[in-house]
């Protein structure tokens, strides 16, 4: 099946044309075309994503990306599409609706079925876009600017939520700590770079919820601890900043890795499926890889472009929905407002 997929849940406008084949138990995907317009530069001066700016940019970018996917000369290609896939949430409400309305118009114009996909299922299914063959049970760790989620994946189509963040997502905590240290948005890569020059044991920041029996996370207290430490310290040298970044990162990574390993141990996981924008973090990947090996659970991470928000993962999740017989229904839409500033 040829799928035209649309993603506009946050600050990336993304379109993809992909081919999905195989059964629910063994789906296969081939990417035909993909295009992403990042809005990071637009939001940078605000230190985070502004929902109405995101909406305006999606409205501007969607027709431009359509031209990239379907250049005028091959307009007939859209006739070959079997269905249109669109993210239905969670995400920033004005941003989501822009993509949904655009997808509805295309579906009407070209008389194509419309299939919705949950953004988090998109992240989860990004492992289907990697070369690794995954065995189950597995643990999925979804870490982004909006989510921090641990799932027990019993098989390719069944999973259970084990835990999630009770306040800030881990990417959000990286972004906020970066702001405290005067670094630009998005803060994750900046903190990672700065932390390399610092000592992760210089400041004993808290490890929130590490010793609680559940699989939930909390990063807001950790971010506040950084804020108080910085206020107390007053003038910061470059060395101080690097030590703070490294100490914050060690605290965040320790909690994530220990909780993920406990989940893997308790469920007998054979694989750990890491996804979301924070999956780009090298110390996090190395720690999950190293600790996972000790348990016989292999780390699987897709290509970086399928971990940041993209439409290919949405096409894959929608293909799974199609095979499950899920219909697009406006009543079930989860265009929730969240994040943003």
Choose the binding region for ligand KG4 from 18-26, 127-135, 166-174, 317-325 (rule: CB under 6 A).
166-174
* Farthest CA pair distance, the chain: 64
Minimum separation from the CB atom of position 279 to ligand KG4 (A): 8
Reduced to 3 states (helix: H, G, I; strand: E, B; else coil), residue 176 is helix
Which of ligand KG4, Zn ion, none has residue 171 at its interface (CB below 5 to 8 Å by kind)? ligand KG4
| Separation CA 281–CA 279 (nearest Å) | 5
| Separation CA 213–CA 86 (nearest Å) | 37
Choose the binding region for ligand KG4 from 17-25, 142-150, 210-218, 233-241 (rule: CB under 6 A).
142-150
CA atoms within 13 A on the CB side of 202: 19
Of the two residues 81 and 311, which places its CB atom closer to Zn ion in the complex?
311
Of the two residues 92 and 194, which places its CB atom closer to Zn ion in the complex?
92
Our finding on whether 94 is near ligand KG4 (CB under 6 A) is no
With CB under 6 A as the contact rule, the residue among 122, 163, 186, 292 that binds ligand KG4 is: 186
Which of ligand KG4, Zn ion, none has residue 190 at its interface (CB below 5 to 8 Å by kind)? none
* Binding to Zn ion in span 257-316, by CB under 5 A: 309
Which of Zn ion, ligand KG4, none has residue 192 at its interface (CB below 5 to 8 Å by kind)? ligand KG4
Our finding on whether 281 is near ligand KG4 (CB under 6 A) is yes
Q: Is 14 exposed, middle or buried (0-12, 13-18, 19+ CB in 10 A)?
A: buried
Choose the binding region for ligand KG4 from 13-21, 76-84, 128-136, 272-280 (rule: CB under 6 A).
272-280
In the chain, where do the E strands start and end?
2-7, 12-21, 28-38, 83-89, 114-118, 138-143, 148-155, 158-164, 271-275, 298-301
Task: Go through 156-168 and write b for each residue having 16 or more CB atoms within 10 A of its CB, e for each that does not.
Answer: beebeebbbbebb
Reduced to 3 states (helix: H, G, I; strand: E, B; else coil), residue 12 is strand
Q: 175 is written with which tokens?
A: 């972004």
Which of ligand KG4, Zn ion, none has residue 188 at its interface (CB below 5 to 8 Å by kind)? ligand KG4
Our finding on whether 48 is near ligand KG4 (CB under 6 A) is no
Could you list the residues that contact Zn ion (CB under 5 A)? Answer: 144, 309
């Amino acid at each position: 099946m040829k799928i035209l997929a649309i993603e506009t849940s946050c600050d990336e406008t993304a379109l993809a044309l992909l081919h999905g084949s195989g059964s629910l138990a063994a789906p296969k995907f081939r990417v035909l075309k993909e295009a992403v317009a990042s809005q990071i530069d637009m939001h940078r001066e605000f230190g985070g994503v502004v929902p109405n700016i995101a909406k305006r940019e999606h409205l501007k970018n969607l027709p431009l990306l359509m031209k990239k996917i379907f250049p005028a000369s091959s307009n007939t290609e859209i006739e070959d599409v079997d269905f249109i896939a669109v993210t239905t949430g969670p995400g920033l409400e004005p941003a989501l609706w822009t993509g949904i309305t655009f997808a509805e118009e295309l579906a009407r114009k070209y008389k194509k079925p419309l299939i919705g996909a949950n953004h988090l299922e998109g992240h989860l299914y990004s492992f289907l876009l990697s070369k690794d063959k995954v065995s189950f049970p597995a643990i999925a760790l979804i870490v982004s600017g909006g989510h921090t989620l641990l799932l027990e994946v019993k098989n390719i189509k069944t999973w259970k939520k084990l835990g999630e963040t009770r306040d800030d997502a881990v990417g959000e905590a990286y972004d906020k700590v970066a702001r405290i240290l005067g670094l630009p948005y998005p803060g994750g890569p900046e903190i990672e770079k700065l932390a390399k020059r610092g000592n992760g044991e210089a400041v004993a920041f808290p490890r929130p919820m590490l010793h609680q029996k559940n699989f939930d996370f909390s990063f807001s207290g950790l971010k506040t601890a950084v804020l108080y430490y910085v206020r107390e310290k007053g003038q910061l040298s470059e060395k101080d900043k690097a030590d703070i970044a490294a100490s914050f990162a060690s605290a965040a990574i320790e909690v994530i890795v220990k909780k993920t390993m406990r989940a893997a141990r308790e469920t007998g996981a054979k694989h750990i499926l890491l996804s979301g924008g924070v999956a780009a973090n090298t110390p996090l990947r190395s720690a999950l890889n190293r600790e996972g090996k000790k348990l016989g659970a292999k780390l699987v991470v897709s290509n970086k472009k399928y971990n940041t928000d993209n439409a290919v993962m949405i096409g894959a999740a929608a293909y799974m929905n199609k095979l499950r017989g899920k219909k697009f229904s406006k009543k079930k839409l989860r265009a929730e407002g969240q994040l943003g500033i």
